[in-house]
Structure 1
Amino acid sequence: MAAPYQEIAAEIRRLIAAGELKPGDRVPSTRALVREYGVAMATATKVLATLQQEGVVHARPGVGTVVGRKPGSAVSSAASVLSREQVVRTAMAVADGEGLAALSMRRVATELGVSTMALYRYVGGKEALVLQMVDAAIGDFPLPAQRPGSWRAGIEAAARQQWAAYRAHLWLASAVSIGRPQVLPNLLPHTDAVLRAVAGFGVDASTSMYAAITVFGYVRGVALNLETEAQAEQDTGLTADEWAEHQAGRLATLIAEQDLAGFRALAEPDGFEFDFDLDQLFEFGLGIVLDGLAVKLQRQRAPLR
């Protein structure tokens, strides 16, 4: 009896052979396989890794796993042609297409056409690889060469560059940490930008560091929704706005049943029109964070008597 991952892989091969999945078509993601077949994430990951090793599918950045061998990816064990940058960028492409759950040293090696062990000399193990991916992803969105003219503009510039990085790499927010921040060359300048920005207020070191953590935590917190929303749209075929429209009837019923006056006011003429936009939400929240920080810093510099 074949293992579950073999049976699922065979089914995908059948769909490809029958022409139901054509070259360039996206195959089910690991999350979709988990949901459809009721298997563990590790099993779903093994399905795609098996098909990848056979050259049946490959990861396409920003799209996912698609039918067909990666162009120019003739399998070779000539690991000497590799570079650390190539390994890291290949791993990022896998994560961009399928998420961090699909990332493994074996998967990256298959993409590159080398043995798994060949990768360790370039990036160490998977944990070290993910750190290098984070550093590369942040490094693609450097801070402005010229420092902004005000403390607020300095923090806004750092926050928006972080947001752009999270936008480009949906896995990134889940790979960075607040409690145990990674000490990385391209990440430290973002924290330093906030520390420099608040330095002019003459506040103590704790206040400066907590200000940086607060800004960093806010941006990351909103960014964690990017991957979730993208996955939900893929799974349901509905945008957030379309999903909200489907919920309108139930929402109206609950508002009436529970006498939710705040929600009822939103339905009045010139009330709230739902338009779920994470970019807009990010900017709105960033303004609130900085408004609050301005008050806090002013009080710390000149305490009320």
Structure 2
Amino acid sequence: MAERELAPYARIAGELRGRIERGELRPGDRVPSTRAITQRWGVAMATAGKVLALLGQEGLVRAVPGVGTVVAVRPATGGPGRRPAAAEDETAQRARIVRAAVEIADAEGLAGLTMRRLGAELGVSAMSLYRHVSGKEQLVALMADAAFGEQALPERPPPHWRDGLELSAAVQWRLYRAHPWLAAVMNLNRPLLIPNGIRHIDWALAALDGLGLDAGARMHAAVTLFGYVRGHAVDLEPESEATRTSGVSGEQWMRAQEARLAALMEGGSFPAFAAARAEADLSPESLLDYGLSALLDGLAARITTPPN
């Protein structure tokens, strides 16, 4: 049967089954709840219930009281010499912990992530987590590294330096949008020394090589670019938290301020602001793009060796 002919619950179950079979969801990992399924795929609660029921009948998931529906541990095959699937090695266990922590922080903010909360999510005691991570500080560093590793920069950068830096900035912005907590943990004064974060600096340095800039200028340019994108992203988590707690989106909040803003404009107290506001349509992306263009224009003026 073609995929478009499948019932909605069967199609969604097929997607989740594929993630389990590919190892993207491992034994013990939570699968989307019925509520999450309704929100992500736009189906009714009854349909979402059928999805989990079908996966349960196939032995792929099981319900854990107080935790939710998780991927079931399936018996290993291949003879007595094969290690059971439940006996994950240290790397796999730590990766599972980090994935769960990222999911919590994405949904509830970094403040909602505690070792107790994480343990409950994984169905283990909080103390057992300390066998794999030394504490929340190390956990957050691992989370940031995992987040930056989600979207790899191409092995070969674009031939023009500006295209390369714009691509790096765009990837960073997408990661910050996907993980609103991420910008707040990336401190330039006390940087997290994570491989996937350093990779963005390395990419920018390579893009600027051979343009007549000395090592100090290249490093300043690369770190400035990283800090610029991060600076625009630091408002994402407070905005996400405000939307989550109030139920009012940023756009809705701005529309609600129109009357107050109009009152401030009365009497001509701010003529330049009023005139520019009538013409400008600001958004996080437009502000990011405008500043990035200005930053790269300024950098271009410092380049003494034209690119090939």
TM-score normalized by the length of structure 2: 0.68
Amino acid at match of 2:95: E
Alignment partner, residue 71 of structure 1:
69
Indicate yes or no: 2:266 matched with 1:256.
yes
State the 1:100 CA deviation: 0.9
Alignment partner, residue 174 of structure 1:
184
Which of 212, 219, 223 is the aligned partner of 2:222? Answer: 212
Alignment partner, residue 195 of structure 1:
205
Map of 1:113-132 to 2, 5 A cutoff? 113-132=123-142
Which of 271, 277, 300 is the aligned partner of 1:294? Answer: 300
Separation in structure 2 between the aligned mates of residue 219 and residue 267 of structure 1, nearest angstrom: 24
State the 1:243 CA deviation: 2.3
Separation in structure 2 between the aligned mates of residue 243 and residue 86 of structure 1, nearest angstrom: 37
State the 1:258 CA deviation: 5.7
Q: What SS does the aligned partner of 1:200 have? A: coil
Q: Is the 8 A contact 2:106 2:181 kept in 1?
A: yes
More deviation in 178-187 or 112-121? Answer: 112-121
State the 1:55 CA deviation: 4.9
Separation in structure 1 between the aligned mates of residue 127 and residue 243 of structure 2, nearest angstrom: 37
Unaligned 5+ residue runs, structure 1?
A: 1-22, 26-53, 57-68
Separation in structure 2 between the aligned mates of residue 264 and residue 116 of structure 1, nearest angstrom: 54
Superposed CA offset, 1:232-281 (max 9, x none):
3334433333322222222222223462111221365xx23x4x532333
- Seen in structure 2, the aligned counterparts of structure 1 residues 234 and 102 have a Cα distance that, compared at 3 Å, is closer
Amino acid at match of 1:107: R
**Percent of aligned pairs with the same amino acid:** 42
In angstroms, what is the RMSD of aligned CA positions?
Answer: 2.7
State the 1:167 CA deviation: 1.1
Separation in structure 2 between the aligned mates of residue 199 and residue 267 of structure 1, nearest angstrom: 40
Q: Is the 8 A contact 2:109 2:241 kept in 1?
A: no
TM-score normalized by the length of structure 1: 0.68
Q: What SS does the aligned partner of 1:71 have? A: strand
State the 1:111 CA deviation: 1.2
Separation in structure 2 between the aligned mates of residue 107 and residue 249 of structure 1, nearest angstrom: 42
More deviation in 162-171 or 102-111? Answer: 102-111
Amino acid at match of 2:301: V
Map of 1:55-204 to 2, 5 A cutoff? 55-56=65-66, 69-72=67-70, 81=88, 83-204=93-214
Unaligned 5+ residue runs, structure 2?
A: 1-33, 37-63, 73-85
Map of 1:272-283 to 2, 5 A cutoff? 272=280, 274=281, 276-283=282-289
Separation in structure 2 between the aligned mates of residue 267 and residue 204 of structure 1, nearest angstrom: 41
Separation in structure 1 between the aligned mates of residue 128 and residue 242 of structure 2, nearest angstrom: 36
Q: Is the 8 A contact 1:198 1:208 kept in 2?
A: yes
Separation in structure 1 between the aligned mates of residue 246 and residue 124 of structure 2, nearest angstrom: 37
Separation in structure 2 between the aligned mates of residue 86 and residue 261 of structure 1, nearest angstrom: 56
Q: What SS does the aligned partner of 2:303 have? A: helix
- Seen in structure 2, the aligned counterparts of structure 1 residues 93 and 247 have a Cα distance that, compared at 3 Å, is same
State the 1:123 CA deviation: 2.2
Separation in structure 2 between the aligned mates of residue 241 and residue 101 of structure 1, nearest angstrom: 24
Q: What SS does the aligned partner of 1:183 have? A: coil
4+ aligned runs moved over 6 Å, structure 1: none
Q: Is the 8 A contact 1:73 1:113 kept in 2?
A: no
- Seen in structure 2, the aligned counterparts of structure 1 residues 150 and 262 have a Cα distance that, compared at 3 Å, is same
Separation in structure 1 between the aligned mates of residue 246 and residue 127 of structure 2, nearest angstrom: 39
- Seen in structure 2, the aligned counterparts of structure 1 residues 260 and 170 have a Cα distance that, compared at 3 Å, is same
Map of 1:15-54 to 2, 5 A cutoff? 24=35
